Structure 1
Amino acid sequence: MLNNPTKFLFVMTLMMGTLISISANSWLSAWIGLEINLLSFIPLMTNSQNLLSTEASLKYFLTQALASATLLFTVITSGLIFNLSNLNLSFNPFLITLINSSLLLKMGAAPFHFWFPGVMEGLNWMNGLMLMTWQKIAPLMLLSYNLTMNLFTIIIISLSVLLGSLGGLNQTSLRKILAYSSINHLGWLVAALTLGENLWELYFLVYSFLSASIIFMLQTFKLFHINQIFSMTFIPPVIKFSLFLTLLSLGGLPPFVGFLPKWIIIQTLVEANLLVLVTLMVVMTLITLFYYLRTSFGAFMLTYAETPWNINYHQNNMIFSLSLFLAVCSSLGLIICSLLFNMF
């Protein structure tokens, strides 16, 4: 991607748009940052080798344009009625709900998630990673200014974890599985937003690290569907094991590092006396973990034929070392973090 000067320019403006949004001191400048970010991402999505990329670009553009129009309409309305342009709109619950809805639509949180799996299916892995991680930073930051734990927020969290879990059950495409997983994680992120800034930042960092670890390996070996994983005879078993270890960590299975932010959020929600919500979130995450385990069992349990002349076919030392390092970070991260916490 970065070998092409045009794409490099769009990556730079995409990052600049996000930075403008998160450092804005008015809703208008935040909207400008979101628009720069959107118009930079569209050219990066187009790919002549993928027939679905044009459809994905159009879906993404129309959805984001609708969200931006809603945001701008609300901001202009609040400016005309209340003569205010700052980021705090705590005096009017209706305006807050409208702005939060437009930002949730930009992220793809349920029930505004209808575009997300379809767009993911039309992207290559690197763009998919960008959509799952970087593109969520600005809306999450703007959402954190006015979001409180009320009925609207509880409905959003519940629907995100519910639809994110159930939606991935009947999928065979790895991109759609990760898309529905992302919707599920958004439910946790929104819950973390209401509890404190450090919580959602920790969750987002761990989620981004694990998603990047998985997608780099899937991109390296050109894997897009579950049935390709079962026929990976050309991949060294250690790399295969690393991939699925990281996948289980992304699902939040103890004792992997993916469980650490969920553990902290569960504890904080219990302290806030939101027992019904936290029970729903945990149960739905177990369903997400089920389809990760279903994907992983084939690699962990089943033996497969490996022809001698294929053993070193993809034996790249850098990939081998990287996957091993990521697997170690993923599996031992929770233990290391617990030790560090007890030491300091």
Structure 2
Amino acid sequence: MNISDATFGGTFPFAPHFSRAPGFQMHYVDEGPRDSGVVLCLHGEPTWGYLFRHLLPIASQTHRVVVPDHMGFGKSETPQDRTYWLQDHVDNLEKFVLALDLRDITLVMHDFGGPVGMGLASRQPHRIRRVISANAPTPFGQADLFERITANAGTAPWFQWIAKANKDGSLDAVLEQLSFSILSTLKLNGFENNAIITDQWLSAYAAPFATPADCLGAIGWAKGFATGAHTFETPDASADRVIRAKPALAIWGEADRTLAAEHFLPLFASVFPTAPVKRLGGVGHYCVEDAPEAVATLIMDFIRQS
């Protein structure tokens, strides 16, 4: 299915752009004035740039908003001869950012967009202006990272299922059917706002996974955790010093069943000890879907104030 021009009933009315800088056709949205700071929005599993459709028209009034789809997600290509580990996504994003020469970047990260964005920050610290985590882990060389990931995985239904499915050999077969199980997958992770579920919404999240061959990105992200294949970037002393001095904000939906605040907000605070943390009661893992207006307001207020 070719979804490159799809607007899903007008709910995603943004012109598609494509870059081959990462070695595949990477889709991105690019809205707003080119002479302003960049808001770079990074999605996670199993979503795509559609996640930021409410933030886009607001932020693009004053900033250049760039929303790429990671390899194997959304409107981006799903190469059949590539690996889909964290380090691959960081490589892709760095090549993309350098090709567009994006600077003065406000990172807005959700889910695994956090490790990917922090990987970029580790490699290109002087291109980063601000860091915003929206239910996104912020690994940045912390000594207790794996202990926190392990503790979280022991109680999170999504990670419990990944471990079980990888062990019994069903992981690929299940995730190859994401076009049919997308809603149950989102609900398992912590999606609370049932009022926004429409045919267009379901189509937007299911369409990128039309066939098993389209699901390599989602499979790779899950399997990387089960097998330990993901490699987290470790900043050098200079990058560590630069990023720790940046303005930062954490927004956390407290009903997140995948990334528990008790494990991941201290990870954020270890890098940004004086940064504000906004907890949203009754909001799940997909905080940008559950409370789009509140999240957009927090983001834009923070950008203006910092």
Could you tell me the TM-score, scaled by structure 1's length?
0.28
Give the TM-score taking structure 2 as reference length: 0.30
Question: Could you say which structure has the greater relative contact order, defined with CA pairs below 8 angstroms and 6 or more residues apart?
Answer: 2
Structure having the higher Rg:
1
Structure with a larger share of its residues in strand: 2
